[in-house]
Amino acid sequence: MNRSNLRVNANRLRLSLEEMAKIGATPGGGVQRLTLTDEDRQARDLFVKWLLEIECKVTVDEMGNIFGCRPGKDNSLAPVMSGSHIDSQPRGGRFDGILGVMGALEVLRTLHENKVQTERPMVVVDWTNEEGSRFYPAMMASGVWAEAIQRDWAYDRRDITGKRFEDELVRIGYKGDAPCRKFPVHAYYELHIEQGPMLERQQKLIGAPKGILCLHWYDVHLSGEANQVGPTPMEGRHDALVAAAEMILKVRGLPGRMGGNMVATVGEIQNYPNSRNIIPDRVHFTVDIRSWDDDLALRAWDLLRKDFEAIAATHGCPIKIDETWRVGHSPFDEILVQRVLEVADELGYPNMLWVSGAGHDASYTNHVCPTAMIFVPSIGGRSHVEIENSRWEDCEAGCNVLLHCLLSGANEF
Ligand SMILES: [Zn+2]
């Protein structure tokens, strides 16, 4: 197979990303564009304007997902689709999500200016509220589209100030008429930054994740006995924070103990009454376990749970554990993953098969249609922070791989 010498316009891709980075720009060089805020609206407006400039048909659905469709020769055929999200984390980076939307737009611009006709239609999509940092949960609107999350339940989510999701959607003018419901898609590709260090370490330009790791969430609640820190002797204390500290170290040691591909993290903790002169009597913390091997993650949790119970008993601190959320690992479509690697080879980009440790909208499209992702390196492996960065030439490489993956999908029957 010979790839035509068609390539995306790297400069235009860069200018689009830089233009988008101005919307919600933070002093630290990042972006704060939380979902359904004025910044989100401004970025959506610009995206829609750019879609219309290349004569795409724009559809907004009732969850605010924006679809830009470029017709094919036969529009009764299922489209190929690509996109990601415009929203960001609080003080997030300039590449997470937006690269996948601007990358897919750049593919359509390239086809438009070269007057390339494809058999199937091509669709660029911006999924609403991927980040989940303003309205829980993450990947909400691709979840509704995939019929994994109920629309009306999503509408009733509230942010910390009490504002309802649906009201905010209406306020920014992006509650569309089209039903938010899955439709036939021939193939879905999502271009994204890796958000980890492996491509950089292996000196590869392109990563093709074979799928997304399983995600197991737990909430741990400990009770102790509050008392004045001065007069209370050390022996016989029921210090919930000390018990939590020992548990957190167990979580840290878990992947090494289990072997295999696993990460385990305590990312959130609340300590009460959180006073320097009171022994803590109540602690809540979270545990996040991810692996390609669901059974390994479950076996790890069994061990961890026993450790937690033993530690709690030693300290005389009653423990309550909630198994909050479990999603199994999710393999992508093998043929599409293979195509990413083949296209990267043919374009001369060093590449590797990898996994995704983070959830993406592609996790939900994967329930509906053949799905794969294209990763480009994150400098220093940093993401969800203002200094998140990727090299422009790596973004270009990822976008060229996307171009040829979409083209081959759009021209097969
Ligand atoms: Zn993202």
Ligand 1 centre from 99 Cα, in Å?
A: 9
79, two tokens = 């489209």
Ligand 1 centre from 204 Cα, in Å?
A: 20
pTM (2 decimals)? 0.91
Between CA 67 and CA 154 the distance in angstroms is 20
Ligand 1 centre from 392 Cα, in Å?
A: 18
Ligand 1 centre from 93 Cα, in Å?
A: 10
Plot region of 274 (φ>0 → left; ψ -120 to 50 → alpha; else → beta): left
Q: How confident is the model over 275-327, as pLDDT tens digits? A: 999 999 999 999 999 999 999 999 999 999 999 999 999 999 999 999 988 88
Between CA 134 and CA 117 the distance in angstroms is 40
Instruction: Please confirm whether the linkage preceding 273 is cis (ω < 30° from 0).
Output: yes
Ligand 1 centre from 95 Cα, in Å?
A: 8
Ligand 1 centre from 130 Cα, in Å?
A: 7
Does an H or E element contain 188, and which? strand 187-193
From first CA to last CA, the distance across the chain in angstroms is 17
Q: Which residues surround ligand 1, an ion (CB under 5 A)?
A: 96-97
128, two tokens = 């609403």
Do residues 386 and 94 make contact, with C-beta atoms less than 8 angstroms apart? no
Do residues 124 and 361 make contact, with C-beta atoms less than 8 angstroms apart? no
Q: How confident is the model over 95-136, as pLDDT tens digits? A: 999 999 999 999 999 999 999 999 999 999 999 999 999 999
Ligand 1 centre from 85 Cα, in Å?
A: 7
Ligand 1 centre from 342 Cα, in Å?
A: 24
**pLDDT given for residue 1 in this prediction:** 47
Work out the number of other CB atoms within 10 angstroms of the CB of residue 78: 14
pLDDT over 70 percentage in the chain: 100
